[in-house]
Structure 1
Amino acid sequence: MLNLVGQDITPSSVMKHVMDIQKYFQNDHKANNWLTECPEIVKPQLPTETRWKGQLTCINTFIKNRSSYMNIIHKHKDDFEKQIARKIQDISIYRSARDLATQLCPIAVALDKAQSDSHSMADLCHMGLYLQQDSLLETHCNVRKKCCRQAHTIEHLVAYQLHPCHRSRRMMSVNISSLGTTALWLY
């Protein structure tokens, strides 16, 4: 479920520009050499279809490397591909990538926890409900609700309400009316 939330939240328009830049530095021989000369560089990462967190890694490496990319453009402006240079210099792409990374961080943390062997179904339900209420993801409310509806059944919510660790969190009391309210909120 969390993987689907991350994929639905990530706008393809931002990812396309970031990936074009990262691919250029990864695949172009001259650009890759210029990049290795920079002291504070992180190797550009590209996401894969099988692992969602690769998108966040790709965005984070773009954000970290952008100042080095700008220096490379300045030093090698005659040899640098103009379209890629425009994308790197476009502040709106940088801001969108930075905002997207901020929004994806809570999902990445939840994914790490969900992949742990020590978490129960109640813990996963807690993470889903926590993401539902995260203010960073407020603009994606419909996506979050859709994914929670697909992942959380009434049985999951009952397990969550009855789990000793989660009784006092997010849900104030263990009673039928609060369970009904939660179920209505999700559905």
Structure 2
Amino acid sequence: MFTSFVESLKAIHPIKKETEKLLLKRLTRHTGKAGDILVKAGEINDRLYFIEKGLVRSYYTIEENKTKTDVTSWFVGEFGFIYIPHSYIPKAPSVETIELLEDSQMISITNKSMQELYDTVPEANYIGRILTEMYLVMYDERVRFLRMMSAQKRNDAFRDMFPDIYDRAPKKYIASFLGLSPETLSRVRKKA
């Protein structure tokens, strides 16, 4: 029932049968429609989500001159994990929202359940650390996109790193993620 989630973790580190049983008891299945919100800004993100099917994004809203703008900070497709670290780890209100971009099937585990596993199962600590490191590396890559690359190179790097998302996500969200206007992204894509 939760095979894809467990197999994704096993790809990071082997899991003993006893650990797998403890994990399976703590997992929850979710389905949602495009446009549904998993975590709303102001709420505490208390679940780590694994996307079995679908596409999600996280975003924050900035307000300038009484105009609100959503800025996409992350995309996750099939077999990826999503959570909002600044909320999930310290159990603090999120400044971001997680939204389904497509009808989706997900599996989740609560922060509390993760902590229980960390306290009782050494390999859970290792897997949790690797997931956190993966997120940190991806975040670092995004910062470099925005600070060190031209618009063309940002687009090309995004396309190469996330080919599936490049073709599936709405262009306005990709432009926002890359720090470009939709018009600039269109011009850059025409040159590619």
Greater share of residues in strand: 2
Same fold (TM over 0.5): no
**Superposition TM-score tier, normalisation by shorter sequence:** 0.3 to 0.5
Q: TM-score, normalised by structure 2?
A: 0.32
Q: TM-score, normalised by structure 1?
A: 0.33
For the pair shown, which has the larger CA radius of gyration, 1 or 2?
Answer: 1
Greater share of residues in helix: 1
